[in-house]
Amino acid sequence: MYDHKLYVQTLSDFIRTLVRPYDVDSLLNDLALRIADVLHLSGAGVSLEQEGKLRMVTVIPSHLAALEKYQENHQDGPSVEAFRDSRVSLIPDVEYTRNRWPEYVELARASGTSSIAVLPLALDERAFGTLSLYADRRDWPEDDVAAASLMADMATGYLINASTHHQQNELNDQLSHALESRVVIEQAKGIIAESRGLSVSQAFELIRRHARSHNVKVRDLSEAIVDMGLRI
């Protein structure tokens, strides 16, 4: 069962964000973090469409990146299928899909993931990307899926809002920027994790808190860590 109090607070935070300037990559990072907390998941990831293909933007925690990267490289798997069909995919046990995606199932098992759900970021029949949910064991109860679907719909609204206000070419630039941000943020997480003796997830939370408290973007702070030797 999802954390209702945290869920309401999360929705309130996202609604307030909509009326302020925002960048897509930071918002999608927040989405993955918040939904993992709300639904008590082992992790979550977001991928977006770019030139007709699904590309990973963010995944929390980082060891689940192999699942998203496999699908990006092969353009196959539950996220790609949910994106192409613009429908929710619920997988209580990845073993059910072994005949279809044997390599993907092995990666899921290696990461400690038994259950996966994928929700398209879509409006009508147009899909912009996917929100992937990862858990050790989960039957994906209806209430959890409904809560996750609303958050996915909100994220889709942000993407459409960006398109409406900045034109389609500027949205494409933002999506490309989000994909590029993944690299520098991952590098910064590794640097801080090593320097502070933290896990990668703890390092990212430290970066995220520091960015918020100093009113800077996560990417800008990550670039300072990687390129300028900043330590926090």
- In this structure, what CATH number is given to the domain that contains residue 132? 3.30.450.40
How many other β-carbons are positioned within 10 Å of the β-carbon of residue 194?
A: 11
Containing structural domain, residue 16:
4-166
pLDDT in tens, 100-141: 999 999 999 999 999 999 999 988 778 889 999 999 989 999
Q: How many domains does the chain have?
A: 1
How far apart, in Å, do the first and last CA atoms of the chain sit?
Answer: 36
On whether the CB atoms of residues 201 and 62 are closer than 8 A, the answer is yes
pLDDT in tens, 183-208: 888 899 999 999 999 998 899 999 98
Residue 200 lies in a domain: no
Residue 62 lies in a domain: yes
Residue 232 or residue 21, greater confidence: 232
Residue 176 lies in a domain: no
Give SS3 for 2. coil
Distance, CA of 29 to CA of 189 (rounded, Å): 13
Residue 17 lies in a domain: yes
Residue 195 lies in a domain: no
pLDDT in tens, 24-78: 778 888 888 989 999 999 999 999 998 889 999 999 998 999 999 999 999 999 9
Residue 140 or residue 169, greater confidence: 140
Residue 203 lies in a domain: no
Mean pLDDT of 7-36: 80
Residue 12 lies in a domain: yes
Residue 194 lies in a domain: no
